[in-house]
Structure 1
Amino acid sequence: MIRRALPGDVAALDAFLATHAETSMFLRSNIAAHGLGDSGHRLATTVHIWSERGAIRAVFGRTRRGDVICQAQGAPAEAFRAYAEIIAPLPVTVVSGPPEQTAALILALGLGDAAFRLNQVEPLYRLDLARLPDCADVIRPPGPQDASLLADWFFDYGVDIKATAADEPARQAARERAAYCITKGSLRLLIDQGRPVAMSDFNAEVADLVQLGGVFVPRALRNAARGRRVVHAQLREAQDRGIRTAVLFANNPAAARAYEALGFEHIGGYRVAVLREPQTARTPA
């Protein structure tokens, strides 16, 4: 059976998701930070549970901005169909999660290949931070003076990974993301000769785990290990405050090589599927 998660389910939800920690970071961090969908935050996530014999077998979530996330290893096709029917009236912008599970969810939602701007399985990496060597690079959080620079970087980043079109709505979204990241506080800039030359961020954090995201080096400054350096410095900073493990997805071979040079180990995959425009499910009548 499927039902909406209630506040009393939070402990059991986290215990279930923690058994799939590397692929549950978005769900866990969203629930920890914003509850079960009742806040107005764009990442507030409405969560549904599929249970069998009183035990959680699958968890599905949809953020206010339309990101749909699942953790449903071994769940029957019926579970995916039941969730698709529940969210059928609501727009979906992104589907993400473990590859086979998200393929089953996309099928249940009735979304064909042509609906997606990007639909790829990215290699998933994990690192025990105890393995990190020392780092002498300088990083800092961004300030208001960096807003224009960050907006340009986020725009280029979205175009580079094919998550956004090169149009004015994408530029506006990049400006909004830059403003948000300046206040959020987890983004870091690598400083070289007094100027920012690369950035990295944590897009999820739970307990002693972080998930890296938004690693970017401007095109004119690439091929000088700056991406690896900003990640290294941010992870050492995180380690100093008690973080023990990091995970990430690599969206291109060059990035994968840089992460492997830091000691990240390839442990699986994670699907990121971005729709060309928000769509509702096309479930059978």
Structure 2
Amino acid sequence: MCVQYHVVPVSVYNVLGGAQLIHHVTDADLERVRAFLEAHAETSLFLLSNLALLGPRLGDHPNSGNYQLLEERGRVAAVFCLTRGGNLLVQAAGRAELAWPILKACEAQPIAVRGVIGEWPTANALWRLLCADPRFQPLHSVKDVLYRLSLSAARLDRDAGRELHARALDAQDFDQWEPLNTAYLAELDLPAQAAHAQRKAAFVSGARARLWWGVFEGSRLAAIAGLNATYGSFGQVGGVYTGPKDRRKGLARAAMSRLIEDCTEHHRFARLILFTGEDNHAARRLYESLGFEARGAFGLLLGERRGAAG
């Protein structure tokens, strides 16, 4: 059952002087909220995608949440959302000084902040505030490099995908996809974000929308790649993984090549975004060889608050 919370505006004052107002996003705010996020689309795809799919209110889905905006003199300065799963999605256009009022507004909600996802300067500032709390335990704190690929200039390697039997996954592939995805999360020290039934439902929905791809050796799924967010002409790549025994065979390249081909010809996207650890040199070489260009930094910072009820 969805729990509804009473929505009240929250006023916050900037330590540098000048009034700031933080309040929940209303239907009347949606146009300017979208415009602000679209102006920073490359680091806002989680916020944009969730807003389009789930709306600006907390619901049953673990990625749903109450969207809030921070205004300065009537202008949008930041948009953020604390999801039911405890992840704080944030876009403040790199203004790290807004981290404190954003965190205070989130702490007024009944959901504990367990992670921060967003553009690096603000995400990092929020992370530092969280880690200063002795009740908070960091689990995954890596600075990611943000990459962009313009699909009009993409280097399509069609032969790689076909020679190695790369294809879009369907709902029947879940039982093979699940252990690979679990291994991917474990290798990155990322916690599973939902129960098994929710993960299956999300995979089936994504497969039906042609958002997952894989490479097979015979009938065995050996490598995966997917889109974890889409909005307009943008797709965001995630979950690219090959098991240890299948590496150095070109499987990740084959999966990514088929993904790029389908995003160009089936989805008609104009641009792909992805982020990977700055020390993950093998992944970075792969993405750069496919034409992706480094565009900055992104924060995917996850932890746990001791004693949190969730």
Q: Same fold (TM over 0.5)?
A: yes
Matched, 1:160 2:187: yes
Q: What RMSD, in angstroms, separates the aligned Cα atoms of the two structures?
A: 2.3
Alignment partner of 1:85 out of 85, 100, 104 = 104
Q: Distance in 1 between matches of 2:181 and 2:34?
A: 31
Aligned-partner residue type, residue 127 of structure 1:
L
Report Cα offsets for 1:35-64 as digits up to 9, x if no partner.
102432221131111111211011111111
Matched residue type, 1:181: F
After superposition, the C-alpha distances for 1:107-156 in whole angstroms (9 at most, x for unaligned) are 44464597211111111100001122251323122333x33322211221
Structure 1 Cα separation of the partners of residues 193 and 271 of structure 2? 33
Correspondence for 2:125 among 81, 96, 104: 104
Query: Could you tell me whether the CA contact under 8 Å between 1:48 and 1:59 is conserved in 2?
Result: yes
Task: Return the alpha-carbon distance in structure 2 between the equivalents of residues 82 and 140 of structure 1.
Answer: 43
| Alignment match of 2:230 (pick from 193, 205, 217) | 205
Q: Distance in 1 between matches of 2:307 and 2:113?
A: 5
Q: TM-score, normalised by structure 1?
A: 0.87
1:102 shift after superposition = 1.1
Residue 86 of structure 2 corresponds to which residue in structure 1? Answer: 66
Deviation at 1:94, TM superposition (A): 1.9
1:65 partner SS: coil
The answer to whether the Cα contact below 8 Å between 1:154 and 1:174 also exists between their aligned partners in 2 is no
> Structure 1 residue 83: deviation in Å?
2.4
Q: Output the CA distance in 2 between the equivalents of 1:195 and 1:158.
A: 20
Query: Larger deviation: 7-16 or 179-188?
Result: 179-188
Partner of 1:272: 300
| Aligned equivalents of 1:278, 1:200: Cα separation in 2 | 33
1:30 aligns with 2:57: no
Please identify, of 174-183 and 20-29, the stretch whose mean Cα deviation from structure 2 is larger: 174-183
Q: Which structure has the higher relative contact order (CA within 8 Å, separation 6+)?
A: 1
Aligned to 1:8: 28
Q: Distance in 2 between matches of 1:192 and 1:43?
A: 34
CA contact (8 A) 2:95 2:121 kept: no
Give the match for residue 167 of structure 1.
none
Query: Which amino acid in structure 1 is aligned with residue 216 of structure 2?
Result: I
What is residue 41 of structure 2 aligned with on the other side?
A: 21
CA contact (8 A) 1:121 1:272 kept: yes
Shift of 1:180: 2.5
> Which amino acid counterpart does residue 117 of structure 2 have in structure 1?
S
Q: % of aligned pairs identical? A: 26
Unaligned runs of 5+ in 1: 165-169, 281-285
Query: Secondary structure at the residue paired with 2:60?
Result: coil
Aligned length: 273
Is the Cα contact below 8 Å between 2:137 and 2:306 reproduced in 1? no
**Runs of 5+ unmatched residues, structure 2:** 1-20
> Secondary structure of the equivalent of 1:115?
strand
Moved more, 187-196 or 260-269: 187-196
- Taking structure 2 as the reference length, what is the TM-score of the superposition? 0.81
With 131-140 and 230-239 compared, the bigger mean Cα shift is at 131-140
Give secondary structure in 2 for the equivalent of 1:250: strand
* CA distance in 2 between partners of 1:65 and 1:47 (Å): 14
Give yes or no for contact 1:91–1:279 (8 Å, CA) kept in 2: no
**Residues 34-183 of structure 1 mapped to structure 2, 5 A cutoff:** 34-73=54-93, 75=95, 77=97, 79-88=98-107, 89-109=110-130, 111=132, 115-132=137-154, 133-136=156-159, 137=161, 138-144=166-172, 146-164=173-191, 173=195, 176-183=198-205
For residues 21-47 of structure 1, the C-alpha deviation after alignment (integer angstroms, 9 at most, x for no partner) is 111111111101111024322211311
Alpha-carbon distance in 2 for matches of 1:63, 1:52: 24
1:42 alignment partner, SS class: coil
